[in-house]
Structure formats: structure tokens, C-alpha cells
Structure 1
Amino acid sequence: MKLLLISDLHGNLEALNAVLGNVIYDRAVCMGDLVDYGPDPGAVIDWVRKNDVPVIRGNHDNAVGFMVDCGCGYKYKHLSVATREYTWKVLSDADMEFLRGLPLSRDLEIDGLKLKMVHGSPESFFDYLYPDIAPEKLAEYTAGITSDYLLTGHTHFPAVLKAPTTTVLNPGSVGQPRDKDWRASCMVLDTATRTQEIRRITYDIDATCRKIEQSMPLADELTTILRRGY
């Protein structure tokens, strides 16, 4: 089975549709952060819900759903706060309830592989497991994890990290890449061969930027970040 790993969609429907239309996969799983920053949070939630995609709650889903602080990094936090009113305005009561009901972690078994889904780390959705994380710190975060793969998001950087007891797979961000590559990021895990491939997909970024410019605050800053990929 080809398992599509996605995370950090952030209301970017054009990026999501490009991934879905250009990647061959059998099943998708999502490591959270469906909302904030982007113009189409409701449509993204709708796709996840209608397709029964296994998904967990990211820190931005938590902030929107429970109306609390997002706890994200200083560099982008003001954008999350500024777009929060827009996000609340366009989401339905059912969307808000969906976000509040998302689990913080999830365990799956697919084709004999044990997968553990988290947003940041097994301890908190605020933790960042960046590609350059120190081996001893990675071992600390993954201690006690016996799943074949620990699936994470949150950093907006794609990565494959070998820990003592598991392999960490981070597909990067579909809707808000931060690794200086503006293209949507995802990963395909082949459960038969136990191999993975990071994919970068070109999407209609102009369409997303036009939506932001027409309806969202701090549009110039939001679109600049999208176009440069950080």
C-alpha cells in the first residue's frame, strides 16, 4: 500500500488539491494543523471529514477550536493571531466541533506496520523535531516508542530521522512550507517495501494568494511567506 503522509495544510486548498491530483496513493493520513494562515480552512476540514482521513489535533487546530494561544514560534505567531478572526468567521459550528474532537495522538496498524501519529512529539504538539535535531534529543523524545514509524508534523520541514527505537517521518507542510521551497510538501510511505519518498508538488499559488489578498489581514506578509517558502 502507498500511504500518503500529509501535515500542516493550513487552509491552503490549492496546495492540497495539487497533492491529491498528482500523487498516486491508496490511503492518506494527516498529522494535523488544518487551519490558520490560509483562506480555505473549512474546505480543508470538509475534505478530511468526508474522506474519513485519520487526523490528529495540531496546535493551531487546538487554538482555533478552543480559542486559546497557539504556542507557535515568535516569527509567525502574529500572523496566526491576526488570521484567527477570519478563520472563526468562515468556519461552521460543525467545523469547530470537529477540531475540538480531534485526538492528540493516534495509533494505526497498516499492512503489519505499526504507526504512531503525533503533531509535534509524543509529549506535546508544541515540540519541534527539526531535521537537524541532536541524536540524543531525538532519542529522548522517542523513548518508549515501539511503533515502526513515528509520524510527525509541526516543523514544516520534511525529514526522515532514525531514532534508537523507531523511524520518524515528517512529510513537511502541504500549505505553508518553511524550508525555502514554496511547493507543497508531502511524503509517500510504501508499506510493502518500507521505503519512503518526499514529494514536492507545484500548485496554483497565485490563486491562493489572490484569495488571501481579497479577504485576509496582513495579506502582503502572508503571500510573501508563501511565495518564498519561509
Structure 2
Amino acid sequence: MMAGSQNTARIIGVIGASGSGKSRWLKGTLAKGDPAKLLIWDPLNEYDHGRIVTDLRELVETLAALEPADPFKLTYRPGPDMATYSKKFEAFCALAFEVPDVCCVIEELADVTSPSYAPPAWSRLSRQGRHKGMTIFAASQRPTLMDKTFLGNCTMIHCSRLNDENDVKTMSRYLGVSQEQVRAMVADKAAGRFDFIERDMQTGKTVAGHLT
């Protein structure tokens, strides 16, 4: 999933309510793919991949010191003040765009975008990143609150359990399955079972399964 030629779009939307298993799946996918260059936007402090950075200036300086072929893993935590996220996210996306062949992970995309608005640097990242061989994962609990342009550009969508009926209807449409199938997904932590539905948006192939 994280390998491919330049200009091959790899844009993955990861959708699911809190506790649905979406972060479990995403972390497992990163572990399996082990990208050489990994940059994570981590507002909930869920990731500990590589070096943890909390200062934007430090992130800029760290990336500037790297050679184009240098491997790295950086997790940027923007802090608890969401009022600062707009400028920080814009800068984060602008930095990511300058790194060829990077795997970029965005957690809680709905915190920094809306259905009708995508920050300019994020829009460029999700629309043009394929020209730099990028892989982009963006996760959200609520598909109805996230950037619809991003969803429309996804090459794959991984969807876990949803709690809101509007979200169920939205993902039924994107996944090409019935609302009943989306609604029936289980997220049972006690049993260790987390259902998901995935659709390859380029081929239209849809599969259902579960993590254990």
C-alpha cells in the first residue's frame, strides 16, 4: 500500500467513531508498510513513531537538516489549544509537500477542515502530492464534518463502526454498500472484534472484514 511509482495516487481515508478500531488498523498498516519517511500530525498524542516534536520551529529545522534520501520518522503534536491548529496545520502541510516520497498521516482531519473548506496547503497536498510519490492517510470520526474534496480524491476508504445516522448514510454512498451493512458493523473491545468495510475507489472493489 505504501509502495508504488511516482505519480501513483495513494490517498487513504480512515473513517470510524471513537473506539471503532480505525487507529488500530492505521497503526497496524504503518507497522506493516514501515515507510522510510513518515510524518504524523498527532493532536491526540496517540502515536510515538520516531522522534516526538511539539515545537513547529523544531520540526522545520529537523526537516531542513535532512538530505532528500534520508529516512526519518517524525510525530508532530500541535498541543491542546485548538485555536492554534489552523496556522500550525497549514505550516505542517506546506512542509510535508516539500518532502518527496513521504508517508503523511493526519489524525482528526475534521479538526482542521470542514465539508466545504480545505486549507490551501492541505488542498495542494491532497491534490498534488501524488506527483511527489506521497502516501497520505487522513483519519476522522465523522465523515460528514471532514473535507469532502479529500474524500472525493481518495483512492481507498477504510471505514469502521459509525454511531451517527448521517455518517452512516454518507459512508453508504461512498462505499457503494447498503446503509444496513454500514450500520451493522461491530466494535466490541471486550470481544476484541472490530469490523470494517474497505473500498478501492479506483476499481470499485469493496471488501468487508474485521480486526481481532
Interval containing the TM-score (normalised by the shorter chain): 0.3 to 0.5
Identify the structure with bigger relative contact order (alpha carbons < 8 Å, sequence gap 6+). Answer: 2
